[in-house]
Amino acid sequence: MTEETITDPANDAVQGKAIESAKAVFSGESLRFPFVPDAMIGLIRPLGDRIFGTRDLNMELYALDPFVTELEQRAVDDYLLMGFDGHGISSQALHYFLVCGPLALFLQLTWANPFADEATSRRRIEGALGLAESLFFDITTAVEKGSISPGQRLVVVESDFSTSRWGWTQGTAPLALEEDPSALFVAHMKIREILSQ
């Protein structure tokens, strides 16, 4: 992938078929299709080979960290990016980046690595995608209950190729994320704790 922006014609026919194309890619890998918020379903479009999303893509998904740091550089509109990207045969990964209201979630999990156990990778991805969907609905409920301050955002990064971390941010304040190899699980437990209060 080059550094130039990748875009596709924004016509309804292309966008309407894109969600079905994305589902076919995940089905071809025998992986569950990731959660897509209702408001984003019609906005999904192809962005590259086995990559789909709702925003223009001007960097590789595999880079990951620039997507996280841009949250503190400027206001970022809600978006979803998902698909498969990597470098070489041992650094391929499923990517699922969801920035939506109070949640900014970045998953980068090993997939199609000939040196890793496929069944283990599949279980990890399936579990993470399920937890991601649950986290989205739980944090939405927390906002509706007034348990999270307006403008506050939970940032979660779980990666096999970068540092996994999580934490809270407000607007474009500098990110102070806590490193944790189980960032997604820990962040989800934190939201469950907030909901139980």
- C-alpha to C-alpha distance for 159 and 156, rounded to whole angstroms: 10
The answer on pLDDT for 170 being more than 70 is yes
| Percent of the chain surpassing pLDDT 90 | 69
The answer on pLDDT for 7 being more than 60 is no
pTM for the full predicted model: 0.90
The answer on pLDDT for 11 being more than 70 is no
DSSP state of 41: G
Mean pLDDT of all residues in the chain?
88
Angle at 70 between CA 191 and CA 57, to 5 degrees: 105
pLDDT of residue 15: 56
pLDDT of residue 2: 35
- H helix intervals, the chain: 12-28, 65-69, 118-144, 183-196
pLDDT of residue 141: 96
- C-alpha to C-alpha distance for 22 and 136, rounded to whole angstroms: 20
pLDDT of residue 8: 43
- Using only the alpha carbons of the chain, give its radius of gyration: 16
Note the pLDDT tens digit of each residue in 137-146: 999 999 999 9
pLDDT of residue 14: 55
Among the ranges given (6-10, 11-15, 54-58, 116-120), the one the predictor scored with the smallest mean pLDDT: 6-10
Backbone dihedral angles phi then psi of residue 169, each to the nearest 5 degrees = -140, 160
The answer on pLDDT for 188 being more than 80 is yes
Note the pLDDT tens digit of each residue in 43-102: 999 998 899 999 999 889 999 999 999 998 888 999 999 999 887 777 889 999 999 999
Identify which has the larger pLDDT, 36 or 88.
Answer: 36
pLDDT of residue 10: 46
Name the pLDDT band for 16 (thresholds 50, 70, 90). low
Identify which has the larger pLDDT, 136 or 119.
Answer: 136
The answer on pLDDT for 1 being more than 80 is no
pLDDT of residue 191: 96
